[in-house]
Structure 1
Amino acid sequence: MPIRTLTSLLAIGLAATACSPSRDWRELHPEGSSLRAQFPCKPDRHQREVRLAGRTVRMDMLVCHDRGATFALAFADVADPGAVAPALDELRAAAVGNVKAAAVHETALAVPGMTPNPRAVRLQFDGKRPDGTPVQEQVGLFAYGMRVYQATVLASRLKPAEADTFLGALRVSP
């Protein structure tokens, strides 16, 4: 086994071990989705109509709160291949704007099974809640076909290993 592979496996194992004692991670396959995700708590499911890429679409959301952190997964079908990139851009702008983040650290995001898209990104930023208290947030944005996804972790003081576990466990399985 190449050293790079061994090192990667070890790092993944340590990250999972670091999170395991403090949270009860469970794999979910949201109904109506090709996605597999892990949540540290049982999420509530919500639906609402939103404007995205110039049209009204139904957005499904899974959200749970555990020990001061919020874990959320939202997805919506945009019904037009040309609307995927604008929808991802709008989701990005809304996530950053909702907490009035000034500096955003952005890296490419590769979710196994996703449709390749240059707008698939992982964002990290600090901002403020509506009441002015500080918040740290990490967001993953990606698409599968004409469905766009936003995975979010936020807390007053975000633990990077928990965000890594949540965002790193995302998988699309058609």
Structure 2
Amino acid sequence: MNHRRPLHTLPFLLLHLLLFQPTSAVDFDFNNFNSTNSSSSLFLYGSAAVESQVLTLTNSNTFTIGRALYPQRIRTKTPNSSYVNTFSTSFIFAMAPYRDALPGHGLVFLFVPFAGIEGASSSQNLGFLNRTIDNDPNTRIFGVEFDVFANQEFSDISDNHVGIDLNSLTSRFANEAGY
């Protein structure tokens, strides 16, 4: 019995290979944090800490920065290609000010090509960038900001918005935050 494919199916196979790029998935799920799983699953920098199974990025001191980074590199592009991989995420967070302390400005879900908090400033810079590297195309930082202040210097649309940031805190796209 001959199981050879007819020659006319070859163009469809080639088209399939060209249209559907191979992808790889990175899945992780944190339902809570504790000192044993967070230290091996996340890198904590600055003021970031795990307290009572909750990841906190700042503390009651003013002008603090904290970052929690996933320790493995997540590929955002196919090597030697201009094809950018898609991603999706969902998470739940709360921004709650400390009593009798200045409130924070917000937080950023970010992709950075390096570990640590170097090059970041607190307050209106959200621990994301600083004035000297803001809008520098060599920074190669992508972020989704959840901002609760309207900073004129970044053309914020309101004091409660979500913005897409590429190498800058001036959002490329922004929308009101809400349910």
Q: Same fold (TM over 0.5)?
A: no
Structure number with greater Rg is 2
Query: Normalising to structure 2: TM-score of the pair?
Result: 0.26
Query: Normalising to structure 1: TM-score of the pair?
Result: 0.27
- Indicate the structure with greater helix content: 1
